[in-house]
A and B are shown apart, each in its own frame.
Chain A
Amino acid sequence: MTAPGAKAGIAGWLEERLGLAAIREFASHKIVPVHSATIWYYFGGITLFLFTIQVLTGVLLLLYYRPSPAEAYESVQFIMTRVEFGWLVRSIHSWSANLMILAAFIHMFSVVFLHAYRKPRELTWLSGIALLGLALAFGFSGYLLPWNKVSYFATKVGTDMAASIPVFGETLARFLRGGDEVGGATLTRFFGFHVAVLPGITTILLVVHLALVQKAGMSTPPWLAPDKVRSMKFFPNFFLRELMAWYAALGVLGSLAALFPWDLGEKADPFASAPVKAEELVLLVSKTPNKQAYPKGRQTLTRTSITTIILREGNGTGGGRIGLTVAGALGRRVHRNGHSHWFRLPKKRHRSRDESPGLGPARTSAVRHYSIRKQHWHKMNSIGVKNACDISRHLRYRNAILLFGPPRARRRRSTGPPMPPEPVPNCRRP
């Protein structure tokens, strides 16, 4: 006996057992706000899509990869030279790792700038941050697996940085390395993290994150009147658009992987000197702030550099770096007073007094950059943090400083404006 009105056939059979109508009902009510920043809603989905690509290509690579120092490099070489389409699969895995970090960062900064982290979405935000951390851990652990020179030394440096954490740093570093030195034990361990531990945790957190998004619905920026915001149905309107975005992402990914195949490098040798091109290390050291120049501003600056350092380590660093730069640029483009307008520059450009017509173009640009830096520096340090809005303003200026760099003494020109006074970190609760 079927209930009255029940459908016949396979659809009816499934309906009785799964209750798909409830899901369809829920999906039909899900809406997506339509406004000038709607485009940023796609990036969470793109991150998810790239994660799926990572899982699929990762499983394929697992068929041939061997996690031991004697065989790891050779097995990757085998994948790239002997297995059909092996070079492509590995290249896609590497490129997708970077693009995923990039997409995750864009997603995160869009949440920051659209103020979507506020009540009642704090848990969504926190689970997202945890997922971002996991993504970076994926990158760091996966980077070692080909067992080439660069990855070997990157892991040495990375675990050494972990050792500098107070109190439990040494223990953590030993735990990560599986011993006192980076070696075969580290490789086996990182392989275990990369293919078992991290995917497990990520899957659980991902389910939580997505469930929370469903529970709270899509966030509308607070400066838009809720009754005036248009909306579209999630299914099928937004869903199909998202599919198109995935298709585009896949196109970009495929082109990058095919046109710029990922390099394998030389096999790691624990008793060889570090390669000349120490990838991130040079940048990292050069960007570390000069403590003597800014003894009091050190606190804020160091925090910034730590973020930068974390982003620079491991695989997916390219994506992270670009993500940060893009975010900085976006943050800069947020209207300086009042409401945010994405990709809309303020109508009245700020004209500095230094920008007098008598100066040459190069000189003008240098002066203007200097003045922007000075401005942001002052603003960042003058904001008293009282609420989320202040934090976001603070972050915005910090991003700008990250983009332009802090005002440095060597930038001072003889005719330039004087240095700003010693900044005092002021980002404390009153």
Chain B
Amino acid sequence: MPEGRRSIVHWLLKGGFTASVASFVYPALRFMIPPSIPEASVNEVAAGKITDLKVNSGKIVKFGSRPALLIRAGETEFKAVSAVCTHLNCTVQYQDASHQIWCACHNAFYDTNGKVLSGPPPGPLEEFTVRVRGDEVVISKRA
């Protein structure tokens, strides 16, 4: 190892070099972080007309940036749950034969209230409130 003044010069060179390399790497790392796109948080969406949905059927509607499942169980009975399976994020669907919600990815079943009946999901689907305004169905988050 060099001694005295020479070692100071060495440290300055090494330190300067390291600092400059850090200044090149830092912007590159920051660049790779995806910028957050602020999305207005959605609490309520219009899910369409009553007449669009037959009895004992379901449809996927856009709820903010995620899908929701709207089910017409009876003539005036509507239910809505989050359509994102709590297991591994697949989008679920309504099975009219069994009157249950089914996730195709790993064969999971929920009832129309989002409660797990069978399969791997660790928890129930989030339930939404459904109201009918005139002939329009409105889904909203539960407070």
Which residues of A does B touch, CB under 8 Å?
Answer: 56, 60, 63, 82-86, 88-89, 250
> Contact at B35–A88, with CB atoms within 8 Å?
no
CB atoms of A85 and B35 under 8 A apart: no
- Chain B residues positioned under 8 Å from A84 (CB to CB): 27, 30-31, 33, 35
Note all chain B residues with C-beta closer than 8 A to A60: 28, 31-32
User: Whole-angstrom distance from the CB of A343 to the nearest CB of chain B?
Assistant: 30
Contact with A along B33-68 (1 / 0, CB 8 A): 111010000000000000000000000000000000
Q: A84-B27, A85-B30, A86-B31 are in contact. List 8 more A-B contacts (CB 8 A).
A: A56-B28, A60-B28, A60-B32, A63-B31, A83-B35, A84-B31, A88-B27, A89-B27
Q: How far is the CB of A334 from chain B (nearest CB, A)?
A: 38
User: Which chain B residue shows the least CB distance to A60?
Assistant: B31
Can you show 7 pairs from A to B with CB atoms below 8 A apart? A60-B28, A63-B32, A82-B35, A84-B33, A84-B35, A86-B31, A89-B27
**Nearest B residue (CB) for A89:** B31
Q: Which residues of chain B have a CB within 8 Å of any CB of chain A?
A: 24, 27-28, 30-35, 37
Residues of B within 8 A of A56 (CB): 28
A183 to B28, CA, bound (A): 32
A88 to B29, CA, bound (A): 13
B117 nearest CB across to chain A (Å): 42
A236 to chain B, nearest CB (A): 14
User: What 8 A-B pairs are tightest by C-beta distance, nearest first?
Assistant: A85-B27, A84-B30, A82-B35, A85-B31, A85-B30, A60-B31, A83-B35, A89-B31
**Residue in chain A with minimal CB distance to B26:** A85
Q: Which residues from A are CB-within-8-Å of B31? A: 60, 63, 83-86, 89
- The distance in angstroms between the C-alpha atoms of A63 and B32, with both chains bound, is 8
Closest chain-A Cβ to B12's Cβ sits at a distance in Å of 15
Please report the C-alpha to C-alpha distance between residue A84 and residue B36 in the assembled complex, in whole angstroms: 11
Nearest opposing residue in chain B for A251, CB measure: B20
A85 to B35, CA, bound (A): 11
Which chain A positions have C-beta within 8 A of B33?
84
Residues on the A chain within 8 Å of B37, using CB: 82
- B141 CB → nearest A CB, Å: 28
Residue among B24, B31, B33 with most chain A CB within 10 A:
B31
- Tell which of A60, A84, A88 has the most Cβ of chain B within 10 Å: A84
Q: Closest chain A residue to B24 by CB distance?
A: A250
Residue of B nearest to A83 (CB): B35
The chain A residue sitting closest to B28, CB to CB, is A60
Chain A residues, CB < 8 A from B34: 83
Chain B residues with CB below 8 A from A250, complex form: 24
Chain B hits for A88, CB < 8 A? 27
Residues of chain B within 8 A of A83, CB atoms compared: 31, 34-35
Closest chain B residue to A88, Cβ basis: B27
Q: How far is the CA of A85 from the CA of B23 in the complex (A)?
A: 12
- Residues from chain B with Cβ under 8 Å of A63 in the complex: 31-32
User: Shortest CB–CB separation between residue B24 and chain A, in angstroms?
Assistant: 8
CB nearest to A82 among chain B residues: B35
Interface-centre pick from A63, A85, A89, A250 (highest chain B CB count, 10 A): A85
- In the complex, what distance in Å separates the CA atom of A372 from the CA atom of B53? 88
Cα distance, A217 to B27, chains bound together (Å) = 38
Chain A residue contacts of B30, Cβ below 8 A: 84-85
A89 CA to B32 CA in the complex, in Å? 11
CB closest residue in chain A, given B35: A82
- A89: chain B residues at CB < 8 Å are 27-28, 31
- Distance, CA A86 to CA B27, complexed state (A): 9
Measured in the bound complex, the distance between the Cα atoms of B24 and A56 in whole Å is 11
CA distance A228 to B103 in the complex (A): 82
Q: How many angstroms from the CA of A85 to the CA of B30 in the assembled complex?
A: 7
* Min CB gap A139→B, angstroms: 23
CA distance in complex: A83, B34 (Å): 7
A292 and B47 CA atoms in complex are apart in Å by 74
A86 CB contacts on chain B under 8 angstroms: 31
Docked Cα-Cα span, A23 to B73, in Å, equals 76
Identity of the chain B residue whose Cβ is nearest the Cβ of A247 in the assembled complex: B20
**Distance to closest chain A CB from B143 (angstroms):** 33
- CB closest residue in chain A, given B23: A254
B96 → chain A, closest Cβ, in Å? 38
Instruction: Tell me the complex Cα distance, A250–B24, Å.
Output: 10
Q: Taking the nearest CB of chain A, how far is it from the CB of B95, in angstroms?
A: 37
The smallest C-beta distance from A362 to any residue of chain B, in angstroms, reads 49
Which A residue sits closest to B31, measured CB to CB?
A85
A84 to B35, CA, bound (A): 7
Chain A residue, CB-CB nearest to B36: A82
- Give min CB distance, A146 to chain B, whole Å: 17
